[in-house]
Amino acid sequence: MWLSQTVTVVFPAYNEEPNIETAVKDFQAVAYGGGPIVDEIVVVDNNSRDRTAELAATAGARVVTETRQGYGNALQRGLQEATGELVVLCEPDGTFVARDLIKLLAYAEDFEMVCGTRTTRELIWQEANMGWFLRWGNYAVAKLLELLYGTASLTDCGCTFRLIRRAAIGRISGDLHVGRSHFLPNMVIAAHMNGVSFMEIPVTYRGRVGESKITGSFQGMFKTGFAMIGVILGMWPAYRSRRASVR
**Can you give the residue range of the structural domain that contains 97?**
7-246
pLDDT digits (tens, 9 = 90+) for 107-166: 999 999 999 999 888 888 665 566 666 787 889 999 999 999 999 999 999 999 999 999
In this structure, what CATH number is given to the domain that contains residue 161? Answer: 3.90.550.10
- Residue 225: inside a domain: yes
**Residue 1 covered by a domain:** no
The answer to whether residue 190 is domain-embedded is yes
Q: How many domains does the chain have?
A: 1
Q: Compute the distance between CA of residue 21 and CA of residue 209 in angstroms, rounded to an integer.
A: 12
> Is 127 inside any structural domain?
yes
Q: What is the pLDDT of residues 199-244, one digit of tens each?
A: 999 999 988 675 655 555 557 667 888 899 999 999 999 888 887 7
Computed from CA positions of residues 204, 62, 20, 39, in that sequence, does the dihedral angle turn out positive or negative? positive
Beta-carbon-side half-sphere exposure of residue 142 (alpha carbons within 13 Å):
22
Where are the extended beta strands (E) located within the chain? 7-13, 31-32, 35-36, 40-45, 62-65, 86-89, 113-117, 162-165, 198-202
Within a domain: residue 72? yes
Predicted pLDDT at 215: 52
Q: Is residue 65 part of a domain?
A: yes
Give the pLDDT score at 125.
63
Residue 40 located in a structural domain: yes
125 near 207, Cβ under 8 Å? yes
pLDDT at 208: 65
Calculate mean pLDDT across residues 165-178: 97
Quick one: average pLDDT of 58-70? 98
What pTM value is reported for the model? 0.92
**Helix, strand, coil percentages, rounded to 5, for the chain:** 45, 15, 40
In a domain, 2, yes or no: no
pLDDT above 80: residue 32:
yes
Please state, for a pLDDT cut of 90, what percent of the chain lies above it: 79
